[in-house]
């Protein structure tokens, strides 16, 4: 099994997380699954005292940009972000779409299980250059627009774009570190 190494995340370093659904299928098929992930993201942020910079939930993957306030294993953050959503997300998919749910069954020898998330650990990397943070915020927020789900980033309900572009504070408001907030607003998200 390909697991995230026990790498310690350090305060002041921004990390980019991307998790894909099993077989890259669109498993976020109902607002209840989007809401579940969003709530869990807030819970994980609070539990681990993370600075949440930007995020988007897409039909078959999620992007998150964050930095810890203390040293913590990246695998702990990834596990807590995925575990609860994987379990309850499968329940919702099974209830709403049996045909889709049947595609999530994995058989290894005599063992059968279902997967919500792609078996690989996901893609987690540190963002080393300050300018990369701006590029990633822009990339994350424009993802729904590139997928032609909306005509502008702030129209997608399941992201932090409305906060960054309009100052709209909703249920899950980013709490970026002060050093990022000290930059002029026009530099935060490129148009």
CATH of region 8-187, choose from 3.30.70.1290, 3.40.50.980, 3.30.1360.20, 3.40.50.12780: 3.30.70.1290
Q: Give the pLDDT means over successive 10-residue stretches in the chain (191 positions).
A: 64 92 97 96 95 95 95 93 96 97 93 91 79 85 96 94 81 72 48 41
What does the chain come to in residues? 191
Domain ranges of the chain: 8-187
Q: What was the pLDDT predicted at 18?
A: 96
Burial 148-185 (b: 16+ CB within 10 A, else e): eebeebbebebbbbbbbbeeeeeebebbbeeebeeeee
Q: What was the pLDDT predicted at 150?
A: 97
Q: What was the pLDDT predicted at 163?
A: 85
Model pTM score: 0.88
């Amino acid at each position: 099994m390909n697991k995230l190494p026990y790498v310690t995340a350090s305060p002041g370093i921004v990390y980019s997380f991307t998790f894909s659904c099993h077989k890259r299928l669109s498993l976020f098929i109902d607002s209840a699954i989007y809401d579940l992930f969003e709530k869990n993201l807030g819970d994980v942020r609070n539990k681990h005292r993370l600075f949440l910079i930007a995020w988007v939930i897409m039909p078959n993957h999620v992007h998150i940009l964050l930095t810890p306030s203390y040293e913590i294993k990246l695998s702990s953050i990834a596990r807590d972000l995925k575990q609860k959503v994987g379990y309850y997300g499968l329940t919702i998919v099974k209830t709403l779409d049996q045909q889709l749910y049947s595609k999530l069954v994995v058989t290894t020898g005599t063992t059968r299980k279902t997967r919500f998330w792609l078996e690989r650990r996901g893609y987690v990397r540190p963002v080393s250059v300050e300018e990369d943070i701006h590029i990633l915020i822009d990339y994350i927020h424009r993802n729904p627009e590139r997928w032609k789900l909306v005509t502008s980033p702030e129209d997608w309900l399941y992201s932090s774009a409305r906060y960054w572009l309009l100052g709209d504070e909703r249920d899950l408001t980013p709490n970026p570190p002060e050093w990022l907030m000290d930059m002029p607003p026009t530099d935060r998200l490129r148009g």
